[in-house]
Amino acid sequence: FGMLMSLARDIPQATASLKGGEWNRSSYTGVELAAKTIGVVGLGKIGREVVQRSVAFRMKVLGYDPFVSEEAANSFGAQLSSIEEVLENSDFITLHLPLTSQTEHFISDEQLSQCKDGVLLINCARGGIIDEAAVVRALDSGKVGGAAFDVFEQEPPQNSALVNHERVICTPHLGASTREAQVNVALQVAEQVGEILTDRIIRNAVNVP
| Number of residues assigned to the chain | 209
Measured distance CA(35)–CA(56) in Å, rounded: 11
Catalytic residue among 105, 137, 167, 173: 173
Query: Angle at the Cα of 204 (from 173 to 172), degrees rounded to 5?
Result: 5
Measured distance CA(167)–CA(78) in Å, rounded: 28
Catalytic residue among 22, 32, 70, 155: 155
Is 48 tagged catalytic?
no
Is 9 tagged catalytic?
no
Catalytic residue among 126, 132, 153, 165: 126
Measured distance CA(16)–CA(120) in Å, rounded: 20
Local structure of residue 10 (DSSP, 8 states): T
Measured distance CA(41)–CA(107) in Å, rounded: 10
Residue 40: φ, ψ to 5°: -105, 110
Asked if 106 and 134 count as a contact pair (C-beta separation under 8 A), the reply is no
Is 70 tagged catalytic?
no
Q: At what angle do helices 11-19 and 2-9 cross, to 10 degrees?
A: 60
Query: Angle at the Cα of 195 (from 192 to 198), degrees rounded to 5?
Result: 150
Q: Which residues are catalytic?
A: 126, 155, 173
